[in-house]
Amino acid sequence: MTALLEFSQVSKAFGGVLAVDELSFTLDRGELVGLIGPNGAGKTTVFNLASGVQRLSRGEVLFRGVKISATSPTRIARSGIARTFQNIRLFRSLTVLEHVLVAQSCRSASLLTQMLPFASATDRTLRRQALAVLEVFGLADRRDELAVHLPYGGQRRLEIARAIATAPELLLLDEPAAGLNDSETAELSGILETLRAQGYTILLVEHDMNLVMRLCSRILVLNFGRLIASGTPAEVRGSQEVIDAYLGVAD
């Protein structure tokens, strides 16, 4: 079966820096895979290449077997890849609910309803769906507040909620637990478990190793843009190269 996402010999250079170096990996439907490595290893660049925000220097990125390396970010988003950013990017003037409503229209309005206006969901249906998403993310009670008034952990959850609202086939999460306290991290962990159980395909960049090791079935390890290991959490944790490059002390 065709992989949902495939990187084939992908390189990305910034001047003299090879941020991603001959990287190959595949992601199958329903997998929750971790992408880890030290700062500057190339993790965010992988997301930028997969979402079309940056152009690769060499190689190919395939989504559902179709080459997307030369496709615009908008078209890639419409085709079903959603991402969050390492730094929060919310709209100052939109409420929590409005963030989700805008995101819903990204795919549904653009694809279906352009061709078939009569197939457009009613406002009430969209609102109900948006509220269901907010419910999963523990944000339904705060739907009418400005998003920027949410506490930090709430803003991070809203970013993921907004990505989910586009009904993606692939979700790219860039350090969702960064800056969260213990209870917020636990809440996030529960949400990721729910998404995994619902069958979402997720590529997770995260420095919280407890979270990554517990949630991911498979982990890819980058160092200086190169894949230095990939395997189950146990395999990766036991790899001397990974310990030297990133994990530090072994258990």
From ligand ADP, Mg ion, none, interface partner of 19 (C-beta below 5 to 8 A by class): ligand ADP
Cα–Cα distance for residue pair 229/150, rounded to 1 Å: 38
Cα–Cα distance for residue pair 122/126, rounded to 1 Å: 6
Other Cβ atoms within 10 Å of 146 Cβ, number? 16
87 binds ligand ADP (CB under 6 A): no
Nearest residue (CB) to ligand ADP, 14 versus 91: 14
Selected binder of ligand ADP within 21, 34, 42, 155 (CB under 6 A): 42
Binding part of the chain for Mg ion, among 25-33, 86-94, 115-123, 163-171 by CB under 5 A, reads: 86-94
83 binds ligand ADP (CB under 6 A): no
Nearest residue (CB) to ligand ADP, 137 versus 246: 246
Residue 71 main-chain phi, psi, to 5 deg: -95, 150
Nearest residue (CB) to ligand ADP, 15 versus 117: 15
Q: Which residues pair with 222 in a beta bridge?
A: 227
Residue 87 Cβ vs ligand ADP, minimum distance, rounded to whole Å = 11
Spatial contact of 200 and 207, defined as CB atoms under 8 Å apart: no
Enumerate residues 99-158 that contact Mg ion by CB under 5 A.
none
Give the CA diameter of the chain. Answer: 60
From Mg ion, ligand ADP, none, interface partner of 230 (C-beta below 5 to 8 A by class): none
**H or E stretch including 38?**
none
Q: Which residues contact 88 (CB under 8 A, 6 or more apart)?
A: 152, 155, 156, 159
Tell me the CB-side half-sphere exposure of residue 188, using CA atoms within 13 A.
28
Cα–Cα distance for residue pair 209/185, rounded to 1 Å: 12
Cα–Cα distance for residue pair 52/77, rounded to 1 Å: 9
Selected binder of Mg ion within 11, 44, 71, 79 (CB under 5 A): 44
Residue 17 Cβ vs ligand ADP, minimum distance, rounded to whole Å = 5
Nearest residue (CB) to Mg ion, 44 versus 104: 44
How many chain residues touch Mg ion (CB under 5 A)?
A: 3
Q: CA geometry: angle at 76 spanning 232 and 116, to 5°? A: 125
Nearest residue (CB) to ligand ADP, 12 versus 196: 12
Enumerate residues 109-128 that contact ligand ADP by CB under 6 A.
none
Q: Report the interface residues with Mg ion, using CB under 5 A.
A: 43-44, 86
Q: Report the interface residues with ligand ADP, using CB under 6 A.
A: 14, 17, 19, 37, 39-45
